[in-house]
Amino acid sequence: MDAKEGKRWTNLARLFMREKKPVVGATPADVVHSENKWRLLRYRGSPTARTPVVLVPSLINRHYVLDLMPGKSFAEHMVREGFDVYCIDWGTPSDEDRYLTFDEIVDGYLGRALRVASRTAGTTNAHVLGYCMGGLMTAIHAATHPERFASLTAVAAPMRFTDDGLLSRWSRTETFDVRAMTTAYGNVPWQLMQGAFQLLRPTLQVAKAVGLVHRAWDDEFLDGFLALETWGNDAVAFPGEAYRRYIEELYRGDHLLDDTFTLSGKPARLGAITCPTLAITFEHDNIVPWASAKVLVDRVGSTDTEWLHLQGGHVGAMVSRAASKSLWPKIAQFWRERDEVARAPARRRSRSHA
Amino acid sequence: MFTFDQWKKSFDVWEDATAKYLEQWLRSPLVLAPSGSMLTAMMKWKAATDKAKTLWWSEMGLPTKRDQERTLHLLNQLQSRILDLEEKLEQSRADAAQSKTTGPRA
């Protein structure tokens, strides 16, 4: 048995005796606003960039996927790059949040977060990055309040829901009654959604276990694996009323793309988005097929759009060590260039890196 | 010597083929439709039993869980309205201070 093999089995044996949980979401931050269950965090740093950055994670996952662990944290990286970084922590919905509407979250809460961040930073708008469902929510908000956006970055954010993926097919199954689910449970339990995500790759659990044994000799991999598992098993329920509209109007109706979706009564048309827009998609994303996320840059009214298509999956490609060396610097550059553009006359540009 | 790394290569081939097969099978309407019916029936059953329990409870004049949830949600909405007003007030103050320093516009 060579040294690597020896380390593999020793590490695995130690893994089950570990008492300390991995450190997640550790970048120092202050709470600058709180309302209902959500909070707006501002990461501590010495910003040099003019415009603040607001991170909008998915409603059903914890925000710390963008601040996974020291050295593998997107937020920490951007703070080091000189940005004034804010992040929404959606918190855990309680039973009464079954009545929380999509409009209250996407128009009310998200709008407040952007206003608080801009006011705190002394600007009138912000660079906004939405990840997964957070990207969809920011795009809808940008379509109704374009003045709040210095730029929009949508990472693996679903826009078109009529793809052939399992989630789309399941949501459009006629025998699946969304209202029966929200009446019975109020908020949709995270275990149900987790189950559906796991069915996207039915062999995922066994593949993960084998992958763990395969790379158990690598201490850095083990730390990352445990942090990601902690995050993956720390999901939250979906507020019932918001879920009903999400499924009925977006998944089933695809109303965002047929320009009939509304936010608080106002039309939310992607064509109304005029700020610089960056769509990031991942080749092996089985949660949000890349084509359904890429459509954002085809539909926005902005003359300054970029599409970045990378290898990797829905989560790994955004939080891995490789992402910190390739993807994160590109996002920082996109924001930095637009900070300069904000001061200089706008020019038309459209790029894609596939 | 047959190591774990060698075994992993054959596992990857099996895993990929099995996942593709299962994904195809799960996407079939023959699987999705009955799964939807079963889930919906379970949800309807839960909703009906909850409703029966609630009726019995409210017969005694006691507030139900739904009553409490509605009240708490209204309180949350009230908090948001107050915050909206605070923002407007703050904006008016800032506008007033601005016009004081720059003077009234002609």
Burial readout B39-52 (b: 16 or more C-beta within 10 A, e: otherwise)? bbeebeeebeebee
For residue B29, what are the contacts with CB-CB under 8 A and spacing of at least 6?
A173
User: Which pLDDT does position A343 carry in this prediction?
Assistant: 46
pTM of the shown model: 0.91
Q: How far, in Å, CA of A290 to CA of A158, rounded?
A: 8
CATH number given to A3-353 = 3.40.50.1820
Q: How far, in Å, CA of A325 to CA of A348, rounded?
A: 28
User: CA separation (Å) from A157 to A41, A154, A234, A293, B98?
Assistant: 22, 6, 21, 5, 40
User: Which pLDDT does position A1 carry in this prediction?
Assistant: 58
- Going A215 to A220 to A226 to A229, the CA torsion angle's sign is negative
H or E segment and range at residue B42: helix B29-58
User: Which pLDDT does position A345 carry in this prediction?
Assistant: 47
Please name the residue that has the structure tokens 């093999």: A5
Q: What is the pLDDT of residues A88-111, one digit of tens each?
A: 999 999 999 999 999 999 999 999
Instruction: State the complex-level ipTM.
Output: 0.86
Q: Which long-range contacts (CB under 8 A, 24 or more apart) does B20-28 make?
A: B22/A202, B22/A203, B23/A166, B23/A200, B23/A201, B23/A202, B26/A166, B26/A199, B26/A202, B27/A164, B27/A166, B27/A169
- Whether residue B104 has pLDDT greater than 70: no
User: Which pLDDT does position A16 carry in this prediction?
Assistant: 75
Q: How far, in Å, CA of B66 to CA of B68, rounded?
A: 5
Chain A / chain B CB contacts < 8 angstroms? 110
Catalogue the E-assigned strands of chain A.
29-35, 38-43, 53-56, 85-89, 126-131, 149-155, 262-263, 266-267, 277-282, 304-310, 349-353
- Whether residue A48 has pLDDT greater than 90: yes
Catalogue the E-assigned strands of A232-346.
262-263, 266-267, 277-282, 304-310
CB of A42 within 8 Å of a chain B CB? The answer is no
Distance (Å) from the C-alpha of residue A36 to the closest C-alpha of chain B? Answer: 6
User: Which pLDDT does position A199 carry in this prediction?
Assistant: 86
Confidence class for position A354, pLDDT limits 50, 70, 90:
low
User: CA separation (Å) from A209 to A78, A204, A222?
Assistant: 32, 9, 12
Q: Do B43 and A99 touch (CB under 8 A)?
A: no
A199, A191 in Cβ contact below 8 A? no
CB of A262 within 8 Å of a chain B CB? The answer is no
CB of B59 within 8 Å of a chain A CB? The answer is no
Q: What is the pLDDT of residues A260-314, one digit of tens each?
A: 999 999 999 999 999 999 999 999 998 999 999 999 999 999 999 999 999 999 9
Q: What is the pLDDT of residues B6-43, one digit of tens each?
A: 888 999 999 999 999 998 899 899 999 999 999 999 99
CB of B27 within 8 Å of a chain A CB? The answer is yes
Which residue type does A96 have?
Answer: E
Q: How far, in Å, CA of A94 to CA of A26, rounded?
A: 25
What are the residue ranges spanned by the domains of chain B?
A: 65-99
Which residue type does A260 have?
Answer: T
User: Which pLDDT does position A206 carry in this prediction?
Assistant: 92
User: Which pLDDT does position A353 carry in this prediction?
Assistant: 64
Q: Point out the residues of A that are catalytic.
A: 132, 285, 314
Confidence class for position B106, pLDDT limits 50, 70, 90:
very low
For residue B92, what are the contacts with CB-CB under 8 A and spacing of at least 6?
none
Q: What is the pLDDT of residues A12-21, one digit of tens each?
A: 888 777 767 7
User: Which pLDDT does position B1 carry in this prediction?
Assistant: 53
Q: Which residue has the higher pLDDT, A171 or A21?
A: A171
Chain A residues lying within 8 Å of B63, measured CB to CB = none
Q: Identify the DSSP state of A124.
A: S
Confidence class for position A315, pLDDT limits 50, 70, 90:
very high
What are the residue ranges spanned by the domains of chain A?
A: 3-353
- Whether residue A348 has pLDDT greater than 80: no
A200, A166 in Cβ contact below 8 A? yes
Q: How far, in Å, CA of A11 to CA of A229, rounded?
A: 17
Following DSSP, what letter does each residue of B6-26 receive, concatenated? HHHHHHHHHHHHHHHHHHHHH
Q: Which residue has the higher pLDDT, A182 or A164?
A: A182
A346, A304 in Cβ contact below 8 A? yes
Q: Do B40 and A8 touch (CB under 8 A)?
A: no
In terms of phi and psi (left: phi > 0; alpha: psi -120 to 50; beta: otherwise), the region of A89 is: beta
- Whether residue A341 has pLDDT greater than 60: no
Average pLDDT of the residues of chain A: 92
Candidates B15, B29, B47; nearest CB to A180: B47
Distance (Å) from the C-alpha of residue B76 to the closest C-alpha of chain A? Answer: 6
For residue A137, what are the contacts with CB-CB under 8 A and spacing of at least 6?
A56, A59, A105, A106, A110, A130
Chain B residues lying within 8 Å of A175, measured CB to CB = 32-37, 40
Helix or strand or coil: residue A84?
A: coil
Closest CA in chain A for residue B24: A166
Burial label, A354 (beta-carbon count in 10 A; 0-12, 13-18, 19+): exposed
- Whether residue A321 has pLDDT greater than 50: yes
Which residue type does A281 have?
Answer: T
A102, A246 in Cβ contact below 8 A? yes
Q: How far, in Å, CA of A49 to CA of A149, rounded?
A: 15
User: CA separation (Å) from A156 to A29, A179, B20?
Assistant: 25, 27, 22
Give strand pairing partners of A129.
A55, A153
Report the percent of chain A where pLDDT is more than 90: 73
